[in-house]
Chain A
Amino acid sequence: MIQDYFSLAFKNLKHRGIRSWLTLLGIFIGVTAVVSLISLGEGLEVAVASQFGISETELISVEAGGLSGYGPPGSMVSDPLRDEDLEAIKKLGSVDKAAKRYIQTAKMEYNDNLLFGYATSIPSGEDREFIYSQLEVEPITGRLLRDSDRNKVFLGYNYYIDKVGFEKEIRPGKTILINEKKFEVIGILDRKGSMLFDNVVYMNEKDLEELFDIQDDIDIIAVLPRYSDEMEKTKEDIERTLRKVRNVKEGEEDFTVSTPEATMSTLNDILSGVQIFIIIVASISIFIGALGIVNTMTTSVLERKNEIGVMKSVGARNEHVFYQFFVESSILGLVGGAIGAIFGTLIGFIGTQGINSFLGADLTPNINFSLIFFSLLGSFLIGGIAGIIPAMRASKQNPVEALRS
C-alpha cells in the first residue's frame, strides 16, 4: 500500500505545472545554503584566516583605537600611536623586539594604468631582520630591501602575475609611480596566498614617511614577546605601560593589543556569526518553502476535488486520501531538498576549488553524507508536515460534494 501512495504521488507530481515546482524554491535555497556552508566549512575558515593575514605568527600587534579595534589599517584615528609608545614597549622585560609599521593607501601607476593599493613599511637596522623573519617573506625573483636602498620597492606576488589590474606583469628593474613619485622595483615576493601580502607594495620606512609626510603617527606596533608561552602576560604588560604613557584609565583604552589567539578567536567569532546568519536565512527560507508547499497543496486539493470524490466513490477511505496527499507533499519537500543538496555539494566543490586556486591551498570539500542524508530526511519531513492540513482537508471532503465539482 505504501509503495502505491509513492507511485501515485510520482504520477501526480509528474503532471504538475511549473507553479508547483517554483514553490520548492524556499526549501531549495535553504538546503543549498546549509549544505554548501558545511561543505565549504574548513575551506571558508582557511580562506578568511589567510585574508586576515593570520599565519602561525607569534607577534602581538598594537593598534590605536578603542574597543572596536578594527579600524581599517591606515584609517584616521583620534589619537595615533607615537614613538614614545614604541619606546615604552621596547623597554618592557617581557618584550623581545618591537617595531613600528606603516600601512598606507597608495596611488600607483604602471603601464598607463592607475590603481590604489596598500604600501607598507619595512623598518631599518636590526628591526628589518626581525620583520623579515616574522613575515616570512622570500623573493621569487630579485631581492628584498636593504637599509641603503632609497626609492626602491619590492612587490607582492600578484604584481608579478599581473593580477592587480596593471594589465602587464612587473619584473625587477621596472619603475612604477607611487603617489606620483618614481620607485624602482627590485624584487617580487613569493606567493603567500593572502591579499595582505600578495597585493602590497613594500618600501623602506624612510621612503614611506617622506612619501606620505608622516610625522609621528604609527599604524601598528609589532611586538615579539620574549617567551612565546607568555603571550597573555606580555599583552597585559603592554596594556599597563601604554595606559601609563598615554594617560588613560583601565577600561577606557584608546588602543588595542591583540595576540594571535585573540585575533583568531575574533575571526572565529566573525565566522560563526556569518554561519549563524546563513543558518537563520536558511531556516527562514525553509519555513517560507514550507508555507509554499502548504499553499500549493491546498490549491491542489481544491483543483482535484473531483478526483477526491472519484477516489472515495471507488472505495478510498479517508485515510487513503489523507496519505495520498501527505505522501505527495512529502515528496515535494524531498525533491526541493534533493536539488538543494546537489547544488550545495556542487557549491562546496567549486568553492573549495576556487579557494585552492586562489590561495594555493590544498583543501578538500567537506562532503558529509550524514548531513546530506539528514537534509533529505528533513526536507521530506517538512514537506510532510506542510501537507498535513491540506491532506486532512482532502480526506474530509464529502464525496457527494466533491463529485459535483
Chain B
Amino acid sequence: MNSTLVSTGTEEKIWGGGNQPLKSSYGKLMMWFFIVSDALTFSGFLAAYGFSRFKFIDYWPIADEVFTHVPFLHGQELPMIYVAFMTFILIMSSVTMVLAVDAGHEMKKNKVIWYMFFTIIGGAIFVGSQAWEWATFIQGDYGAVQTKGGNILQFGTYKTIDGEEVFKRISVEDFATASHTERVQHENKNGLWFVDESALPAFSVSDVLHGLESHPEVLVRTQTINEEGEKTVLSRAASLEQVKNNGRRYVKGANLEVNEYGTPLFADFFFFITGFHGFHVLSGVVINIIIFFNVIIGTYERRKNYEMVEKVGLYWHFVDLVWVFVFTFFYLV
C-alpha cells in the first residue's frame, strides 16, 4: 500500500541502476568529467592565442628572443634553458605523484607520504619559477619606442661574432640620456583626486631621438619578420625617420597595455594562459598538501583505500599535460 516508498529491489538487473559499465568509481569519473571540461577551457585559450598569432603572423614576437633569461646568469642569452628546466621539474613531480598512487595501491603509507612530499616540493619550485619568469618579463631588458600605430621599434647594432655580422639589441639606456623635464607625475593628492596616472617613462621620445642621432652605429629593428624568419633591420636613414616621425613613447618591459618585445597581445596571452595554468598548479599544490596531511593522520589507512590520492593525482597529471601544450605553443612553435 505504501506507494511513495521507492525500493526497486532490482540492483542486480541491467535497468535497475546496479551495473557500472565504466567500472570506475563515482569520484574518479567526476574527476575525468572535470578534466575534460578544463581541457576544453585551456584549448579555448590556446586556440585564441593561435587566432591572434595567425592574424599577425608576420609581426609576432619570436619567443626565443623574449625568454632568454636564467636565474643567477645575468647578461647571458640562453633561450629555452629555463623553461626546459621548469618542464622537467613538472614532469618529475608527475612521476613522484604516480609513484605515490602506486604506493597507495600497495597500502604503503610511508612511501605515499614521501612521494607526495616530493610532489609538493616540485609544484612549489614550478610556481616559483613561473613567478620569476613573470617578473623578468614585466621588467623587460632593452626598452623600445612605441609608434603612433602601436608598433614597436627596437634598437641594436651590428656586431662581429665569430667572423659573422650579427644584429645585437642594445639597451636604450646605453645611448639615450634623459633630459630635464617639467612634467611631473600626476598624483591624486595634488590634483584631481579621482584621476590617477601611472609612472612616467624614463625617457621622452626626443631623448631617444637625440641619443640615436649622436650614435651613428645604432639602428632600428621593426616587428616585421622577413623571409629569413628574422626581424627587419632598417637602414640608418630609415631608422632616424621612423623614430622622428612615428615615435610616440618609450616603453620598457611588458604589461597588459604595452610590450617592448612586440604586439601587446603577446603579453596579454602570456599573462593570461601561463597565469591560468599557474593558478591551477597553485591550487594543485594546496589540494596535494591537504591530502598529504590526510595521509599522515591515517585517514586513508582507516578507509582501507587510497583512492583520494589517485584522484588528486589525476588532477596533478592534468596540470602537467596542459603545461606540455603551453610549452610547445608559447616557447617552441
A binds B: no
